[in-house]
Amino acid sequence: MQFSEKLLYHIWDAQHLQKNLKTISSRSIKVLFPGRWNTGSGPDFKDAIIEIDGIVKRGDVELEIDSFNWTLHEHDENPAFNRVILHVVYNHNGKYENTISENGTPIDILEISRFLDRDIAKLLLKYSDKTYEESSRYCTFFADNDLNFLQSILTKLGKERFENKVNRFKAEHYFAEFDQLLWQGLLEALGYSKNKFQMLQLALHLKINKLSKIYHEAELSEDELISLMLGTADLLPNLPSIVPTETKLKWQAIFSKQKHDFQPIKLEWKLFRIRPVNHPALRIIQISKFIYSSLETSLFHNILKLFSSSTKNFSLISFRKKLYEYFQDTSDYLPESLKLGKTRIDTILINILLPITMVYAREKRFKLLEDTIYQIYQDYPRLPSNYISKHMERFMSDEQVKIFRKKALYQQAILKLYYSNCKYQACNDCIDLYKQYINENAL
């Protein structure tokens, strides 16, 4: 049976692999974070965190059926693949123990056919030759579940997705203190799907501790902060028309005269047909006041203040009000209509702030803080619908849709279900999940 590239992506993303991984050159491998699936050009998974022979590395992962495809697809001549730290293949059919990048760096090769978990035969049977009819509205998972059971299993899946996010930031904590971790998360979240990698690379290049040092030593102004961020991002020549010409010229002049040795970096921004409100320069300006106000003390310390109430006296309404005040302090350079929206702030909370703060709570063994985070996550109202949630609602009854739309937790559960099973038409996995949950609760 032919092994498809689609299945290869699923195996890597879900880590259907044994624990004792070894490269072709016999180096030990431990995957701390498999990376984020890249739907654009370049390597298949971006910003993975992998321990190779005891050394933790951060970079990209390229997946291919055969190792010679690296040369066949001319990745060895493409600088976009120079951040690849692991070449994952199903068959190693090359002559050498390493793949070579465009800049001459040797890359470790992992041949996963030697390390597939025991269920891989079942996975092959499920995924290799499946067809999917988009018009079908029947789903065994939703058809077989009553409302109480659905809420229980969605709660379980929602918690699992949250723990995946926590584990991701825990892995990134190898390389970054909490201020930097939050800085990276915020910029990535503000990049949306088109520019999230570029925003993350900006945060990795323009470290928050360097900005803080300049703030304290050179009395950095907010104008100077914005010019440094936009100038380093190479966005000053491409500011949207909503920014007045006078302001553009002022920031360009500030950046050209700055003495901190900041230089524009090439980030390949995707600006074609982007909505003005989603322009990365606007997003940077929107967040600048919050960043500037945090440089005096600590970016992460300011976020921790949000969680100062104990679980006994905790009020989600008060928490949300304070959260919005943090991020909606209107920039002096943008109209009120272009301030960061509440729905985007909610999304940042669920995907960035809560997981990072949970890493901190567990590291410091602050049980009350951990309980508060879980309480927020479990009670938080739903986020805006996206194409996945709308697609999944097609398979639910009206009563199930009402439940699904109540909480962000349930939405996160559906996203986990989709990315783990539905995306690969792995309907039998949902049935197995159903049976497993029944057995666990019968004990």
Pull the structure tokens for residue 241: 């028309």
Q: In whole numbers, what is the pLDDT of the chain averaged over residues?
A: 89
CA distance 390 to 404: 11
What 3-state class would DSSP assign to 116? strand
Taking residues 107-126, what's their average pLDDT? 78
Whose CA is closest to 37, among 10, 67, 15, 16?
Answer: 10
Question: Do residues 133 and 388 touch, judged by C-beta distance below 8 A?
Answer: no
Whether the CA torsion 434, 440, 441, 442 is positive or negative: it is positive
Taking residues 267-273, what's their average pLDDT? 89
CA distance 358 to 369: 8
Least confident of 198-202, 220-224, 364-368, 425-429: 425-429
Going by pLDDT thresholds of 50, 70 and 90, the confidence category of residue 355 is: very high
The string of pLDDT tens digits covering residues 208-235 is 999 999 999 998 999 999 999 999 999 9
Taking residues 264-287, what's their average pLDDT? 90
Which pTM was predicted? 0.85
435: pLDDT strictly greater than 80: no
Pull the structure tokens for residue 135: 């018009």
Phi, psi of 366 (to 5 degrees): -95, 90
pLDDT recorded at residue 173? 95
DSSP string across 124-137: HHHHTT----TT--
CA distance 151 to 135: 26
Phi, psi of 28 (to 5 degrees): -75, 145
DSSP string across 182-246: HHHHHHHHHTHHHHHHHHHHHHHHS-HHHHHHHHHHH---HHHHHHHHHHHTT-GGG--TTS-HH
Helices (runs of H) and strands (runs of E) counted in the chain: 20, 8
243: pLDDT strictly greater than 80: yes
128: pLDDT strictly greater than 70: no
CA distance 284 to 232: 12
pLDDT recorded at residue 170? 96
pLDDT recorded at residue 122? 61
Taking residues 12-36, what's their average pLDDT? 93
Of the chain, the percentage scoring pLDDT greater than 70 comes to 93
pLDDT recorded at residue 339? 84
What lies within 8 Å, CB to CB, of 148 at 6+ separation is: none
The string of pLDDT tens digits covering residues 376-385 is 999 999 998 8
Determine how β-strand 55-66 pairs with β-strand 106-111: unpaired
pLDDT recorded at residue 123? 57
pLDDT recorded at residue 312? 67
Taking residues 122-151, what's their average pLDDT? 65
CB burial readout 26-59, b (16+ within 10 A) else e: ebebebbbbbbebeeebbbbbbbbbebeeeebbb
Taking residues 273-294, what's their average pLDDT? 91
**CA 261 centroid distance within chain:** 30
Pull the structure tokens for residue 289: 């006041």
pLDDT recorded at residue 442? 57
202 compared with 9, residue with greater pLDDT: 202
Whose CA is closest to 415, among 123, 133, 160?
Answer: 160
**CA 166 centroid distance within chain:** 11
Phi, psi of 442 (to 5 degrees): -90, -15
CA distance 359 to 177: 11
The string of pLDDT tens digits covering residues 52-98 is 999 999 999 999 999 989 988 999 999 999 999 999 999 998 888 99
CB burial readout 134-161, b (16+ within 10 A) else e: eeeeebebbeebeeeebbebbebbbbeb
Going by pLDDT thresholds of 50, 70 and 90, the confidence category of residue 135 is: very low
Residue in this structure with the two tokens 């792995």, named with its chain if needed: 426
Whose CA is closest to 181, among 270, 49, 278, 285?
Answer: 49
Determine how β-strand 84-91 pairs with β-strand 106-111: parallel
Question: Do residues 51 and 151 touch, judged by C-beta distance below 8 A?
Answer: no
349: pLDDT strictly greater than 90: yes
Of the chain, the percentage scoring pLDDT greater than 90 comes to 64
Task: Express the helix, strand and coil content of the chain in percent, nearest 5 each.
Answer: 55, 10, 30
Whether the CA torsion 109, 110, 112, 115 is positive or negative: it is positive
Interior CA angle at 372 toward 189 and 402, to 5°? 70
Pull the structure tokens for residue 378: 């479990």
